[in-house]
Structure 1
Amino acid sequence: MEDMGSYFFIEYTRDRMQAELHCKQDLTKLPETIKEEDLLRFLNKNQIKHGIIRKHTKQFEVDLSTITFPILIAKGTDPKHGTDGTITYTVQTTEQVKEHDVWNFREVMQIPMVNKGDKLAVIALPKQGEQGIDIFGNPIPAKKGKPVLCRAGKNVIFNEDELTFYASASGQVSVANHTIHVHDVYEVHESLSMKIGNLNFNGSVIIHGDVPSGYSVKADGDIKIYGMVEAAEVVSGGSVYISEGMAGLKTGKIDAAVDVHIGYVNQGNIRCGRNLFVENSILHSDCKAKNTIYCQRGNIIGGQVNAEEKIEVNDLGNRMNTQTEIYLGNQNTSDQSLKTLLSERKQAEATVKQLEMIGQKIIRSKDQMNPEQLKLMLSRQQHSLKKTKQQIDDINQQIVEQAQLVDETIDREIIVRNNLYANTILIYGKYRHTVDKDQQHMKITWNNNEFNFQPL
């Protein structure tokens, strides 16, 4: 048969994943049929080597008049991207509170205790995926799955063969900053008083009473308070659970590395590394959460409330139009935080080089020292070197997490289930929007440098 190029031409998509066969001439000028082998040679001449749709090429041998041009003649194989690693907890942890669940405040106050040897969590490794092939036969790389970020912390061991975390002591499970801990528990069976004083414990603390004004409670693990907190200071390396609430008198402070679960907040200051769950209302307070603030059954009136991703509330503001400031997004610059981490890593790397040089000098001078002195100096040098390298690993992990936060596109929104009152001020960075009239059942999103209002 004469050159197929006089009848047809091929167009392919920019990503080289599809090719269409177009007809140059009027259909009446085409022959009735074309041999499939001629068509395949024409495709091969145009470098199309993969994904040829044989069902369509066979139509050319039957009847060209039944074909509608352009016709899809080749389709590449899409890559199968890898899946990220996962972690499955086999015990109750503070990590298991799901954002969109209707959470039960009373159940949250239960203490997740484990015994020595208990299995805590199992890791599934990421899957690498399979590469694709475009219509020209070129490989298309698949995205690799990311490993799950989780480490063994205090009283926890990791079995690499089983990819499983186990408790090496009995205590309370807590997950903070991608690290699983089992903390010892210190219990107080009454309200804090001069008899007990301030608490500073390297595990978890449980108080079956109140924390009055002027006292401080600090713990590396979780803090559970079955009463109320007044103008006191509560600082936790895990999560904070307060059964009643906080009457902070503008000076009370709660600072948690993970979540805060509390009945109500009145004139308090709260900072948490992940989510803030308030059973009732937030009144004239300064609250900030890394991810989300939930105030499902109450309202937010006055003060300043900041969540980087989402705020969900029943009523926002009040009928008296009390000024209420709601911040979305990170009010601190992530770039500055990243610069600080890079600077710290540079200093730590310089320290490693100095310690390695010191170690070499000690070894060269071993003949001039007695064995005890040599052993002591080498032990100190190795301890400092190990500690500094661990510091670099920790900084690198923080840099990875910070970079993910900077690169990630986050949907930021405010959900008002009931009433949104006037004189509520919405703030994102340098942008401010004052609600000028009462509204109901609103979803407010941040998009294209403005707040967008949509009915729920």
Structure 2
Amino acid sequence: MSENQVNKDGDIKILFNNNKLKAFLEIVPPLGEGKVPTEEDVLKKVAELNIVDVKNDAIKEALLEKNWGEKFLIAEGRSAIDGVSAKVEFKFPSLAERLGPKIDAEGIADYHNLGLVYNVKMGEVLAIKTPATEGTPGADVTGKEIPAKKGVDLRIPLGKNTICDENETRVLAAIDGNVNVRDSKIVVDPVFEVNGDLDFSIGNIDFVGDVIINGNVNTGFMINAGGNIEVKGFVEGAKLLADGDIIIRGGITTGHKGLVKANGDISARFVENSQIEAGGDVIVREAIMQSLVKAGRNVKVTDRKATILGGTVQAAEEVESRVIGSQLATKTTIEVGVNPHYREELYVLNKERNEKRLVMDNLNHNLQIFQRSGVNPENLTPKRKLALVKMLDNFKNIRKEVKEIEERIIFLENEFNKIQNAKVKAVDIVYPGVRITIGQANYLINDPIKFSAFVLDEGEVRTAALD
């Protein structure tokens, strides 16, 4: 051995990364006749440093002479997994998502339908909350725990008329209504209110609850309400449908394009050139002019100048106005005593029965001609025999249909005969040109009659004193 030779034992270096999630082993080569570290030496040092779950194969690799001076990963910790923050998923489109003209199959925009209303029913799921998670802690190479960050929780965005389920993970509608997000909270409004006219800025309204229009309803627009409709202004050429009542503070002038129809009552200042239908009463302050009015109970015009002029007014029970008709003998029809829908149905059925009877008579005539010919059906060609069978089948089917129609007509006529308190009241005067029908009995006014009621007496319409 040379006197100048340096002998130095090899060394064991164990290095950590910044967060101690990894431990690396490096064998420093010996000098001269210095001692080479053994696996036992490495494991002893690993134990001194409290390193756990070491990779023995990696230690063996690092100890190979060819690998001296290189770093080998001998232990690896486990990173913490932070918790996921809570989130709320809305189950309805936002106003921004749904607002805009409806596009049809041909790509044409309908600016009458803008999607402003989004109906929900009581109990409908409006939002689902995914709760925050705790996260999973980790550990470094010494086994020391690395804490995980908890996910951030969120308050459920409950607003007016919404509730949580028992698990507090779902937002439910407490009522039927229009759903929106207001002040970062989900709300359901039972009333849809427009602060102005119903026009192209709002579009048609199809709503499960009540609708209030603080202006006019313009021509060409529609309101369909599951509750009541109130219009502070006028209704012009529009269609209004309500399961409840309809209140029009101004007048109704729908023309031939519109309709005002309620399952409940309808009230208005005046009705002109319009069609209105109520399941209950129609109450008008000033006048009904040249309109078709149908009521399941009563029609009353109440002002001191109350007038019914022209058109047709139908009520199941009573029609009342101060003036009916005009000095010009304007044709005016007043019908009471039967539900207006029954009267209309009877008219349609009578027309249908007459049409089918004409077809039956024609078929019967052709069948009789064949019968008188004396030809044996068995001697007919297949084509003529098929035509004869079809003719017989048609005759039988139409005869059956006529029988069913006649049964319905009998039922309706019996309803007409159940009239009890049907009445027409002309508090001031009724003019010539007015036809009054009670049930199926008619009375044509030929001379002005003042301060009279009209009732059914022994099958005829007669005048009577006002109540």
Q: What TM-score, normalized to structure 1?
A: 0.44
Please identify the structure whose Cα radius of gyration is greater: 2
